[in-house]
Structure formats: structure tokens, C-alpha cells
Structure 1
Amino acid sequence: MAKALPLLKVSGTRIIDETGREVVLKGFSLGGWLMMEGYMFGGRNTPEHDFRASFEKALGKAELDDFTKTFRDTFIREKDIKTIKGWGANCIRVPFNYRLIEFEDRPYSLNEDGIGYLDRIVGWCGKHGLYCILDLHAAPGAQNAAWHSDSYGKAELFNSEANKDRYLRLWFFLADRYRECGSVAGYDVLNEPDVGVLEEHKVRELYEAVTKEIRSTDTKRIIFLEGNMWAQRLEFLGRPKDDNTVYSIHAYAPIDFTHNFEVGLRYPCKAYGVMWNKDRFDMMARAYSDFVEKVGVPLYLGEFGVSAREGCCGEAEWVRDMLEICKKHNLNWTYWTYKTIANYAYPDGIYRYLGNPAWVNRQGPVAGWETFPHLWKKEKGSMAFSWLTENFTLNKNIFSVLKEYF
């Protein structure tokens, strides 16, 4: 049993614990667990609610509930938290869908089964000495128009008073629930908002409102605020009104390389007419670093990751350069992501599932999670077994680099 984790707080541009010791958060996101994304399971990138609706239409609600519980109970377990701690990491980021906490068609209702998984991960982190950051990956109405916010094709959070109220009430509930949990480093209140530059004030105003809501019950946890345009633009945030705030960015540049959209690119590489290398990343990081120094907040690289091509295209070099930049500019960081079905595009997990059973079926035409409704009743035992991390393969090429920086 680990000792109780000391409370973290912001001091200027650093995060410190109760003794005044600086703590640089380093670890992994647990992507795909409490917020499913198609590519992580070998399928198309469609919203999670579409997948669930198709599953329920095919097999009924009871089987959907059985699938949901089985998947969540097997994909991430306590031994995964022990593994991450054993590697030397001190933090995990936990992406979750608001539908985990409340039912979409019943505003302000509590999904007891869903909240139990957040309780579970918070408890495991406390037991094994890891901090966790709770990351709202899909908000009511959606904060961007993409599938990974489980949207209906529009970002309807910022323009709907009903959605904003649900969002604020959700964070009050979570902050009130976890305000005494030492393992909770803080709240990443909104993943990758994306609105036009002229509407950035809507994001800032919502951040001010949610900060006020959280602080009405939890005065101690850090609040993590992501930039607009997929966590890229920070300047519109200015100086935070709350002095226990961290600003967060994500880094996947150049996306044609990190997501393997342009096959054959080798890092360092030329893309979009410019050269992408450590010097360019240092220049970009310096601009962020200068800004947070000016406004007096720490900086957190909440996501960065790369599609694995068996080490043949400079993936490890890209990761090393990103980590060197983090070290130079004193960035906290979490790698995206811990585990995925191995795929041809999008960032891979540090653990990858390499097999090709019927519920992966990379050759298609139906692949990945789109096969689940057709196979669940017949193959549920084998499917559940395949989701255990011991059946995934560690990407030693990337892992060896990450481990140097823990």
C-alpha cells in the first residue's frame, strides 16, 4: 500500500506538493476505456453513441449492458495501474464521456454503474501512489464536431444554455465527490474545444463559470484548461482568475506523420511546405513557454503520440524530441495512449494488440468494433480475454524512450 499522496498545487509556473517539492507530472492517458474511439478497436471513427445504438438495435439493451460491463472490467484493471507505477510514471489521465456519469436522455440523472469506474480508478491510483487527472473527453452537446467528442456533428456545448448547465452541474458533482481524494491531481475540464477565433470568448467564459462551480465545493484541486482549436491556442485565455490553474496543450504535429496519413514519411520530415524537426518543436514550445511565463501558470502537454510503424520511420526519434522539449521547457506530460488495437493510422498505444481474430478482422470489409454486435453472443468470452493487457504487445521501441524520462 502506497503512502497517501501529498496534495498538489500551483506555484507560479511549477506544480509543487505540500512540502514545497516540485512535481513534474509524467505518465499516460487511458484512452479508449471510459470513452471509446473507433480506431482504438480497429474500426471506423464514428461517435461512440452510434456504436452503442447499433449494438442495442442488434442485440438489445441487456446485451449492450453486458458488453459495456465486460469491456470496462477487462480493458483496464488494477494491475495496469501497478504496471504504470512500476515503470516510474507518477500520473495517469483518465478520459471519460459525460454519458458515463449521467444518462443522455435524463439530464442530471446519475449512472451509478458508470461513476463506479471513476471511483475505482481513483482508488487504485491512491493505493499504488499515482496521481490521476480526470479528463472530460465528451461534454453535453459536444465541445467540437469530431467523433472523439461523441458529437452529433456539431459543437453544441457553447451555444446551448441547457448543455452548459448540465456541464457545470456535472463538474460540481465530480469536484464534490473527489475533493478529499489525494490521488486526484485535478480536473481537465474540457478536452480539445474547437470554435472559431471570433468565438473564443465563449470558451473562456465557460472556463470561468466551471472554475467558479468547482471552487464552490473544492478549493484545492488543480484545474486544467485546454486551449482552443484542439488544445493549440492559449493566448485568448490570458491570465487565469484562479491561482491553482494549469494550461494544457496537445501536440501531434505534423499530423500526416504522427497519424500515418501520408505513408512513407520519415521523421525528421518535410510536410505542409516546412521542415519538422526538434528545432521547429523547440521554437513552438518557446512561444508557449513565453506565454505561460508571462501569465504565471504551469504548462501541461496532455496528449502527444505517434502511429507505430515498427520503428522504421523515426517514431522513437519524434517521441524523444518531444520529451526533450518537455524537459527543456519544464512541461508536465501524458502520452497518448496506454493501449490500442494495432492499426495502420492514428496514434498507437504503448501496448498494442497484434492479433487478427474475427472481432478485429483488419482485412474487412467490416472490421473492429463494427463486428462486435454480430459476434458478441457467440464470442464474448474470447473477446473479453483478448482485451486483457497481457494479450497485448509492448512497443519496446517507443517504451524504451519514454522510460528514460520518467
Structure 2
Amino acid sequence: MPRGSHSRTRSQDYHQDHHHHHRDGHYSNYERSRSRHPDQHRHRRGSVTAGETDLETDAKAYQHQRREQRRRRRSQGPTSDNEEGTLPPGQPLSAAALAKLNRENEIARMKEQRERRRREREEARIREREEARAREMEKERERARERGQERTRSRGRSRGGVASETRGAGWESEHERRKRDRQRERDRTRERSGRGYEPVRAAEEDGEEADEGRQQQQKYRENRRSKRVVSGVLMEEGKVGKPEKDENGYTGLRASWGTGSSILRIKQQAVQQAVTGEKLPWYKQKKKLLIYLAICFVLFLIVIIVGAAVIPRVGERKDSDKPTGNNNKPTGLDSISRDSIPADAPDWLNPFTWADTTDFNLTYTDETVGDLPVMGLFTTWDDSARANEHVPPLKDPWGDYGKRPARGVNLGGWLSLEPFITPSLFNYDRRLGIVDEYTLCQYLGERRCAETLEKHYATFVTEDTFREIAEAGLDHVRIPFSYWAVQTYDGEPYLFRTSWRYLLRGIEWCRKYGLRVNLDLHALPGSQNGWNHSGRLGAIGWLNGTNGELNAQRSLEIHDRLSKFFSQPRYHNIITHYGLANEPKMTKLDADRVIQWTEQAANLVRRNGISSSRTIIVFGDGFRGLHKWQGQLQNVDNAALDVHQYVIFNNDQIVLNHSAKVRFACESWTEQTLLSMDRSTGFGPTLVAEWSQADTDCAKHLTNVGWGNRWTGTYVSGDPALDATSPRCPTQDRRCSCELANAPPSRWSESYKKFLKMFAEAQMSSFEKGWGWWYWVWDTEDAYQWSYKKGLEAGVLPKKAYERDFDCDLSQIPSFSDLPEYY
């Protein structure tokens, strides 16, 4: 048995034995005694005071029982009764019996002491309550006397003059009488309180009632005076105003003017202010009241005027149910007539509803190709421009991409939103759950979504964008767009068709500056990867889930319409790459089913006129490993495998220090590219359509809105194989910080700028071992390491993409020992 169990058991046995003995022995004797002396027991029970408890009653009964036992022993003499505690007369008590008797006496004494202390505490509390009640009553009586005296003084001052003097003596005697009556009533109340009754404030109430009666009599006299006909003297003195109602809401005799009552009230108020020094509330001061009313009236007029000016602008819709979303009036609309646009024309065919009409053909037409509108396009085009002197003009074939690789950039975040590129579009309370284009438009609603997105389409990319791209020595542009530019489906909140005309205009601006186009269907129905840039973050619904096959068929229908449209002669020279699906997540999908769909889509596109001699069909590697594509899709003519290379999305690569990252780009990625380009070890033609020089994943919303990052060890994706719950910067400790990693270029050291440029040029050199590269992206709002434009401005990218200082000579890679490895 554990330590302490014996003592607990013995204590429990003692209490059980004692309880049994009490019930079987003493309690039975007590009952016999009670039956023989009922009157005596009733007398003791009836004499218990209010403070006694059941415990005291039991103790007294027990003592009585003991006395009865001793009395019987004396009267009966020796007995054979073996009850405990019964001994023959004259026989001394045993040691055990004596100890037990002492314990019982001690228990009784302690109970009596506890009861006495309890009664004393209770009496003290009662005395304290009575004293507090008496003090409170005295304070209340004092306050009542003071109020009565104040009213008396106020009435005496208001009467004033001779009348006050003649009535003073009688009034004082009456006041003294009432005061004595109230004092007698208070004395009676105090007597009742002393006898245990709850005190009643009769005297005070009587005094208050008397005061109320006097006030009513005073009001009655004032009302009578107010109902008198205005005297000529008052009229002559100019003291007559508009009719006033009395206290009961009635005007005086013959609609009397009430001037007497008004003057009396003014006098009384003046006397009260003079005596008490109190100020009237603002609503009783006529001047202040008028000022406040005037201010309220002016504010009301301002609200009405502003509302009249703003509300028509917000609700103004003359030609469509949707606003333009831009406060600037589109240009060029003077050249067309509103009557030339049918009344039932949808928004995408009605230039008067467009936010921007720059470089659009505004002549109305409902002509379509592949069931897609040509509205906005001019009928002629010119393919004579070229991006720079190192590439051919658009009208001439590009040649072998293996010998002349593409050097391009992505217009990411423009027609397919991505939160880290334009975080201002997702600047909402996190609890609203706005994390992608789907939830953004769902929250904004149709009208506000149209306003917000069209303004973004019109301003984020302009003609200057394409001019600057060409000036940077780039020759290709990859334009990501989403399927809702072509079609939307029931229940989807996406903005339908608006991005389509901006895509067409973007292609025409590429033509103007000799830039070739890589069409990238970035988002497919159902989402091909479940990432935010596919339109909707979450589950993959393409070739997966309940509607997986339905969405795969819808994707083929999208390509059917797109390929028919872009097979027109005007696109033969400019569209050099046609992407089927951006980043299908083949690590979560059935790889064989994805390959089957890719072959179906490629054959469909070719049948619709996308020529194999002019246009490369591009499909993604699906992150399954480049070597696994060896021997796949070899029957697709002029196709290229698209791989996206980043060190920061890999837990094993992000920990590399600065010099190791440069070396990795030169060695590992060059090796991967060469192996993939060899059909015996890989698919064959390979291009890198996405990469960046970012060395951390610290950019805001890069890993998703509100998510953490690998750099600081706060990245939790739900997939344990991908999570990073400990810092993954090169030092891999708590020094890892995103503060300096997200700093603007003005805070970058010269050594850090040297690293960024060398890292970028190492990747360019590596990827040009394949069919070329496209930097991700051209511009961002504040993710500086992801913007080609901002990198040019900061001097961390070559001024011309075809003129570089570093070409992966490993001997030129410095240690970068002066750079911290934790920011």
C-alpha cells in the first residue's frame, strides 16, 4: 500500500465506528428519554433562540441524554446493562472510557466556542448595518433640509419688494410648523426602525409633496396671468411677441400673446442665475440655440449639394449596365456616333463603355473568328519592325532557336492576377479571405470587379511597356491570360471577355516594336494546379475531382476557339509560341492523363491552322523531373518543353549562400538544360519560360496572401514534404530576416548589386543552352527582385540582354564574404 494509505484508512474506520456507535447507542437512549419526558423536550426545543443552529440543538440534546443516563443509574443501582458508558455505582472509569468522555467534552466545548463566535460576528454585522442605515438616513434628511431651505430662499428672492415683507412673518411661521411636523415624523420613523421595521421616508415625501403643491399653485397663478389680455402699455413698449402656449398647450384668452408669462419666466431665470451662479442649458439660451440651428442647416445644405453632385456620377449609365471603371474620359470617341452602336450591343462591342480606347479601332463590328470578336482591331498591319539589330524583322523567319535562343520577359500579373505582383489589389482584411482573382471578384461584385480590373488592365501595361522591353535588348514577350477572356461558366464571378481586347491590343503593340509573342493560357477551367495565379487557390478541378473531365473538355473547347482565331494571317509572323497549359501540377495529377490531354490539345490546335512551320507548341514539365519526359509526345511537331527554374521554392536550394547560388545556376541548370535538350536523355527542345534573380521568398504574398516563407521558417502549405518550419536562409538560425531582403534598391550595397547581376547573367547563360528564356516578370509594385524594369533601373541587369559581363566563367565567381547571408 502506498505511503499515507494506512493513516487515511484508519481515519475513515474511526469515523465510521463513531458514527455507528452514535446512531446505535446514544441516539436510541435519546429517543427513550424523549418518549418519557415529551414536555421537557418540547420546552427545550421551543427555547432555542433565532441564532442557534441544528448543530447546537443536537449538542444540547446529547447533553440532556447523558444527564438522564446518570439519573437512571443513581435510581436503579447496579445493572447488567452492557451499554457502553454504563458502570456500576462506585466503580471508577476505565482509562478508555475516561479518554472518550474527555474527547466528547472537548468536542462539545469547541462547538460552543464556535457558536459563540458566530453569534458575536452576526451581532457585529447587524450593528454595522443599523449604524450605516442610520448614517444614510441622517445624510438624506440633511439633504432634504438643504433642498427645502434653498427653495425657500429662491421663492423669497423671486417675490421681493413689499409683498415679500408683508407676507414674510406668516410664511415663516407656516414654514416652522411644517418643519416641526417633518421632525416629528422622522422621530416616529426612527422609533419604528428601532423596533425592527423597515424605515419609511414619509416625512421627506410629505415635504416633497408640499413643495410640489406649492409649485403647482405658483404655475396656476402664472398661467392665469399669462391668459390676461395684453395691456396697451406693453404694446406701446414693444414687449408684445407672438402667441405662446401655456403649460397645458392652450393659448390665452382671445389668443393672448402670452407676454406676461414670458417676461415672468425671463425674470425668474435671471434671478436664478444671479443667485445660484448657474448657467442655463444651451437649448434654453435663445442665441446659442439659433446658432446651432443655423450650423445644422448649413451642414444639411452641404450634404444635399454634395449628394446631388456625386450620386448621379456613381449611378450614371446611359449605354450599359456596367461603368467604365475609369474617371478619365476615353479618347477618340468623337470620331464615332453613338447611333452607330446598336442599343443591345454588349460591353465588349460598345466603345462608349470602355475605360480606355487608345489604339483601338472604334468602328462597330460584330464579326467574330472562332466565335471570338475582332472588335477593336484595325484591318491592316505591318510586320516590318524588329526588336533590335541582332534579330530578324517579324516578316522573316526567326530561324533555329537552338542557335538563336529567345530572350524575353513575362507580362505577369496583368491579364491574370497574381497577388505578389500587384498586392494593392488584395489589400483587404485577411478575414475576408480575398486571396485570388476568384475571391476578389466575388467580394467586389460584378460592377466593382469590372471597374477595378479594367482600370488595372488599362494602366498596368501601356504602349511604353513594349517600347521599354525592346530598348532593353529583349525580343520576345510572354503574355499570360486566363480562360475567362474567352468564356465563363455558371456561378463564376470572373470578369468576362474584357481582358480579350487588351490581349489583342498588347499583341498589336508587340508588332509595333518588333517583339514576338508567346501566348500563355495561364488559367484553365477548374484550375490546373490550385495556385492563386490559376484564378482560384485551393483544390485542383482540372483532370481531377468530380468535374475534372468536364473541365478538361472545356479547356479543349477554349483552345479550339483560340487556335481558330490566332490562325488568321495577321498572326502568322508574330505568334511564335502557343502555350497549352501553364504549370499543370503533375505531382498531384495522373501524369498519363495529362500527357494524353496535351496530345489532344496539340493535335486540335494544329488542325485549326496553327502552323508547325511558324509556331512552337509549348507544354509544361509539370514538376515531375526533366528526365521523365524522355520519349514522351515525340509525335507532336515543333513542340517544346517548358521548365520554370527558381532556387527559392526549393528547401534544399534556398539555403545556398550567394556564391553557391551563382555556381548552381552555371553548373546544375546548365547540365539539366543540356540533358533535356538531348532526346536520348530528355524530351528534346527545352525552354525556360519563367525565372528570376530573387534569392529569397520574402516578397509580400509571394507564397500566397497571408502565408509565411521559407527564408524565416514560417512556410506551412499543408504538405509536410514542402513545408519549412525552421529558417532556411543560409545561416539557418533566428537571424534570418525579410526586412532587408525586401528593401528597395536604394538600400542595396554595391556588393549585393554585383551578386544580383552575376546571378541573373549566370541564369541567362545557362538557359541559352536551350531554346531561350523569359524573365518573370517585367514589372511589380514593390517586389524589386522580381521586376526586370526595376532591375534595369538599379543596375542589377545588363543594359542590353544580349551584352553581358559574365558568361559562367567559374573562376570569376567571388566568395561574397562581405555579404550577410541572413537577409
Q: Is the 8 A contact 1:204 1:237 kept in 2?
A: no
Give distance in 1, aligned partners of 2:440 and 2:631. Answer: 35
Residue type of the partner of 2:773?
Answer: W
Report SS of the residue matched to 1:249: strand
Aligned counterpart, 1:48? 437
Whether 1:317 and 2:758 are equivalent positions in the alignment is yes
Report SS of the residue matched to 2:559: helix
- In the TM superposition, what is the alpha-carbon distance from 1:219 to its structure 2 partner? 3.7
Report SS of the residue matched to 1:132: strand
Q: Which moved more, 1:39-48 or 1:123-132?
A: 39-48
Pick the aligned partner of 2:524 from 139, 144, 150.
Answer: 139
Pick the aligned partner of 1:397 from 775, 796, 800.
Answer: 796
Pick the aligned partner of 1:289 from 677, 687, 690.
Answer: 677
Aligned counterpart, 2:401? 15
Whose Rg is larger? 2
Whether 1:65 and 2:450 are equivalent positions in the alignment is yes
* CA-to-aligned-CA distance 1:157-213 (integer Å, 9 cap, x gap): 113221111101111111111112121112111111112378211111110110121
Give distance in 2, aligned partners of 1:301 and 1:200. Answer: 21
- In the TM superposition, what is the alpha-carbon distance from 1:117 to its structure 2 partner? 1.4
Report SS of the residue matched to 1:301: strand
Structure with larger RCO (C-alpha < 8 A, sep 6+) = 1
Give distance in 2, aligned partners of 1:64 and 1:393. Answer: 33
Aligned counterpart, 1:348? 786
Aligned counterpart, 2:343? none
Residue type of the partner of 2:793?
Answer: L
Aligned counterpart, 2:107? none
Aligned counterpart, 1:82? 467
Q: 1:162 to 1:225 in 2, by over 3 A?
A: same
**Alignment of structure 1 residues 223-262 onto 2, 5 Å:** 223-229=617-623, 235=629, 238-255=632-649
Q: Is the 8 A contact 1:143 1:155 kept in 2?
A: yes
Aligned counterpart, 2:773? 333
Residue type of the partner of 1:245?
Answer: A
Q: Is the 8 A contact 2:661 2:759 kept in 1?
A: no
Report SS of the residue matched to 1:322: helix
**Alignment of structure 1 residues 300-315 onto 2, 5 Å:** 300-307=687-694, 309=741, 310=745, 312=752, 314-315=755-756
Residue type of the partner of 1:54?
Answer: Y
Q: Is the 8 A contact 1:350 1:399 kept in 2?
A: no
Tell me the percent identity.
Answer: 21
Report SS of the residue matched to 2:678: helix
* CA-to-aligned-CA distance 1:126-184 (integer Å, 9 cap, x gap): 22211011111111011112222223412211132211111011111111111121211
Pick the aligned partner of 2:500 from 108, 115, 119.
Answer: 115
Report SS of the residue matched to 1:404: coil
- In the TM superposition, what is the alpha-carbon distance from 1:15 to its structure 2 partner? 3.4
Q: Is the 8 A contact 1:143 1:156 kept in 2?
A: yes
Give distance in 2, aligned partners of 1:322 and 1:303. Answer: 11
Report SS of the residue matched to 2:797: helix
Give distance in 1, aligned partners of 2:518 and 2:452. Answer: 26
Give distance in 2, aligned partners of 1:288 and 1:2. Answer: 33
Residue type of the partner of 1:143?
Answer: Q
Residue type of the partner of 1:55?
Answer: L
Aligned residues: 344
Give 5+ residue unaligned stretches, structure 1.
Answer: 17-21, 353-391
Aligned counterpart, 1:222? 616
* CA-to-aligned-CA distance 1:80-135 (integer Å, 9 cap, x gap): 1111112221100001121222224289x994422111211121112221101111
Report SS of the residue matched to 2:414: coil
Give distance in 2, aligned partners of 1:230 and 1:41. Answer: 30
Residue type of the partner of 2:405?
Answer: V
- TM-score, normalisation: structure 1: 0.74
Aligned counterpart, 2:418? 37
Give distance in 2, aligned partners of 1:70 and 1:231. Answer: 40
**Alignment of structure 1 residues 134-213 onto 2, 5 Å:** 134-159=519-544, 160-179=548-567, 180=569, 181=571, 182-196=573-587, 199-213=590-604
- In the TM superposition, what is the alpha-carbon distance from 1:49 to its structure 2 partner? 1.0
Residue type of the partner of 2:606?
Answer: R
Residue type of the partner of 2:796?
Answer: N
Give distance in 1, aligned partners of 2:665 and 2:620. Answer: 24
Residue type of the partner of 2:395?
Answer: P
Aligned counterpart, 1:363? none
